[in-house]
Amino acid sequence: MKLILYNMMVFSKFRIKVLYLFLLGTVIASCGLDSGTYVKSTHFGGALGTSYSITILYPEELNLEMEIDSVFRVINHSMSTYLPDSDISKINQGDSIIVVDKMFRDVFELSKEVYSNTNGYFDPTVGALVNAWGFGPGKQLVLDSTKVDSILQFVGFDKVRLTEEGRVIKNDSRIFFDFNAIAKGYAIDRLAELLDQKDIENYLIEVGGEIIAKGENKLKQKSWIVGIDDPQIEEGRRLKLTLQLRDNAMASSGNYRKFRVDSITGKKYVHTIDPKTGYTRDANILAVSVIAKNCAKADAYATAFMAMELSESIKLLDSHKELDAYIIYIDEIGEVTEFMTPEFKKLVVY
């Protein structure tokens, strides 16, 4: 049975970063070739159950805190399963009248596309299982085979549709949407759109480890440099590699840090959920990083590639040249091995 994994931590207090911002030269001196024409503005804080950091290089200092907060606020109102009055929560509670906004529609349609392209490895209707296993906002259950089978009856993105008017139709009222594996990437895309509309050409946006890089680090006269965590380090951090990004987005997913330990049995449950069987289990894929033109797409495919067999991921990448990926996995003899698309490899610094 093939597995599907979900990074359901966007709006969760359990969010663990798989990839994090690694700017070379955290303190940047104003001694670059044309550094006098650029001013560095930084915005950072907490949002979507994780942290964010935005670095902007512009001819003058900018304060966009209110507008940034507004983006996070509307994303939460549309798609946070942790807010009972959000649109997605109302839909999950059975509201069939609500008309969703453009953001919800964008994420729904992209989810449908990725669900199809990955043969169902990416499925945002797995939310009921996420809750049942204790990784979501809903009530955790004591599960047996009967309960798992009953939940599986209302898992499947082919069981939902969106009308032209923007109403969500579910085959079963118990279907529970969870866009956490794509909504954070979409939030980053919205932040990038905000900056683009202000004619800002050089910036780096990071939210919970997912990134969009635009232009370059003008104060250093080089591309933005970011790092990817080593998945074999369970405590603390060590970089696996660094790479340069320009006019691209990158999202990562992993199954090596996010887990729950049963307080009675001591058994470890990872956040890997197989929607075919309904159970949590491990896989041989340790971590995935995907580069795409927008972060929502990178986010969704990073989730899917965590589930797919390596050969299937490579086949999909061969037919979708707009995607590049770096996959860390355990091979047949138990060795940690890497796969990297040629274009991804060109971006590696060290």
Q: Do 78 and 92 form a contact (C-beta atoms < 8 A)? A: no
User: pLDDT band at 135, cuts 50/70/90?
Assistant: low
The per-residue pLDDT for 1 is 37
Q: What six digits make up the tokens of 228? A: 């990817």
Decide if 160 contacts 151 (C-beta within 8 A): no
β-sheet bridge partners, residue 242: 227
265 Ramachandran zone, left/alpha/beta (phi>0; psi -120 to 50): alpha
Domain boundaries, the chain: 19-346
- 315 forms bridges with which residues in the sheet? none
Q: What is the pLDDT of residue 19?
A: 43
Q: Is 51 exposed, middle or buried (0-12, 13-18, 19+ CB in 10 A)?
A: middle
Residue 342 reports pLDDT greater than 80? yes
Q: What separation in angstroms does the CA of 254 have from each of 5, 10, 275?
A: 9, 13, 18
For residue 278, pLDDT over 90 is answered with no
Q: What is the pLDDT of residues 2-37, one digit of tens each?
A: 334 343 334 433 333 444 444 443 333 333 444 558
Q: Which of 140, 162, 193 is nearest to 88 (CA)?
A: 162
Residues 241 and 265: beta-carbon distance below 8 Å: no
pLDDT score, position 128: 76
The Cα 47–Cα 127 span in angstroms is: 21
Whether residue 232 has pLDDT greater than 60: yes
Encoding tokens for residue 33?
């070739």
d(CA 243, CA 253): 17
Rounded Cα distance between 171 and 185, Å, is 28
Which pLDDT score, from 0 to 100, does residue 241 have?
Answer: 93
Residue with tokens 């993105």: 157
Q: Are 312 and 292 in contact (CB under 8 A)?
A: no
Q: What is the pLDDT of residue 151?
A: 74
CA angle 247, 250, 251 (to 5 degrees): 155
Q: For residue 20, what pLDDT is reported?
A: 42
- The partner residues of 249 in beta bridges, in order of sequence, read 212, 292
Q: What angle do CA 213, 287, 192 make, to 5 degrees?
A: 20
Query: What is the percentage of the chain residues whose pLDDT exceeds 70?
Result: 75
Q: What is the mean pLDDT of residues 247-262?
A: 72
Q: What's the residue count for the chain?
A: 350
Per-residue pLDDT tens over the stretch 139-173: 665 656 667 667 778 889 999 999 999 999 999 99
Q: Could you tell me which CATH number the domain at 19-346 has?
A: 3.10.520.10
Q: Is the pLDDT of residue 280 over 90?
A: no
Whole-model pTM: value is 0.84
Residue 52 pLDDT > 70: yes
- Is the CB of residue 330 less than 8 Å from the CB of residue 284? yes
Sequence-ordered list of residues with C-beta below 8 angstroms from that of 119, at least 6 positions apart, any chain: none
Q: Pick from 230, 249, 246: which is nearest to 238 by CA?
A: 230
Cα separation, 208 vs 21, in Å, equals: 9
Strands of the chain, DSSP E: 19-20, 39-47, 50-58, 160-162, 168-170, 202-207, 210-214, 224-229, 239-245, 248-254, 259-261, 268-270, 285-292, 324-330, 336-340
C-alpha to C-alpha distances, 266 to 135, 178, 205, 269, nearest whole angstrom: 16, 27, 39, 10
Structure tokens at 312: 């299937």
Has residue 117 got a pLDDT over 70? yes
